[in-house]
Amino acid sequence: MVADELIREIKTNVVMGRVDSSDEGYDGKMEGKPGVSELVRDAIKQDISGKRLIDALSEAMVTVGEKYDSGEYLIPDMLAGAESVGTAMDILEPHLIHSDVKSKGTFVIATVEGDLHDIGKNIVATLLKGAGYNVKDLGAGISAEKIVEAVKEYNAEFVGLSALLTTTMIKMASVIELMESEGLRSKVKVLIGGAPTSPDFAKKIGADAHCRDAFEAIDILRDITP
């Protein structure tokens, strides 16, 4: 398969949510055909640049986002696309170290203390990887202290905070307050998200932005990343 065809197939299979050849795809008719993991490995063998592959993955997820926004795709369909991109990034990561792809910055992401919901956070982390960020996913139920420690350890330029409960979203304020007391706040952009959060809440606690979903997070970062 020539390079241009491989790129087209990778995009198609992300949109179809096919991680590998065992997946049927959105229309249920593609089992047995190469999926994203097989196609990305073929692309690596053909020396297709990391930048071109990441651009293809990002463009495909834009299409997935459009289909989700229009109602054509439901959450499981969006998750399937995100999973295929995550798998592709895992395969690509060792090859990106020596490639022409430069990280857009280090992004620490976590669901705040007391909250164990992580599906939305996981989708954002996957899309951030596909968009070229160095993502440090701390997981769910993470204290302000551990988040700030990670910001210091990784010299992060960005922090993403997620919460799905009204009782835990106030913990986002604790993270920002601790960053301020540690002298880190002016050096780090803080993005928040999750069902109970809002632009007004983001402003109230001193966050830089509120993200409605993973796709808006990418759009916002595109605007604030040098």
Q: Where does the pLDDT of residue 99 fall: very low under 50, low under 70, confident under 90, or very high at 90 and above?
A: low
pLDDT digits (tens, 9 = 90+) for 113-144: 999 988 788 888 887 887 778 899 999 999 99
For residues 106 and 28, which has the higher predicted lDDT (pLDDT)?
A: 106
Q: How far is CA 72 from CA 15, 61, 69, 75, 77, in A?
A: 12, 14, 8, 10, 9
Q: What is the mean pLDDT of residues 186-210?
A: 96
Nearest in space to 198 (alpha carbons), one of 183, 184, 216: 216
pLDDT digits (tens, 9 = 90+) for 39-57: 999 999 999 988 788 889 8
Q: Are residues 148 and 217 in the same domain?
A: yes
Q: Are residues 90 and 114 in the same domain?
A: no
Q: Are residues 111 and 91 in the same domain?
A: no
Question: Is residue 98 over pLDDT 70?
Answer: no
Q: Are residues 136 and 208 in the same domain?
A: yes
Percent of the chain residues past pLDDT 70, beyond the cut? 96
Percent of the chain residues past pLDDT 90, beyond the cut? 57
Q: Are residues 204 and 119 in the same domain?
A: yes
Domain termination site, one of 96, 124, 149? 96
Q: Where does the pLDDT of residue 100 fall: very low under 50, low under 70, confident under 90, or very high at 90 and above?
A: low
Q: Are residues 132 and 169 in the same domain?
A: yes
Q: Are residues 80 and 186 in the same domain?
A: no
Number of domains in the chain: 2
Q: Are residues 117 and 218 in the same domain?
A: yes
Mean pLDDT of the chain: 90
CB-CB contact of 23 with 65 (8 Å): no
Q: Are residues 128 and 189 in the same domain?
A: yes
Task: Please check whether residue 101 lies inside any domain of the structure.
Answer: no
Task: Please check whether residue 207 lies inside any domain of the structure.
Answer: yes
Q: In whole angstroms, what is the distance from residue 224 CA to residue 226 CA?
A: 6
pLDDT digits (tens, 9 = 90+) for 140-170: 999 999 999 999 999 999 999 999 999 999 9
Task: Give the range of the structural domain holding residue 197, as residue numbers without chain letter.
Answer: 106-224
Task: Please check whether residue 144 lies inside any domain of the structure.
Answer: yes
Q: Are residues 92 and 111 in the same domain?
A: no
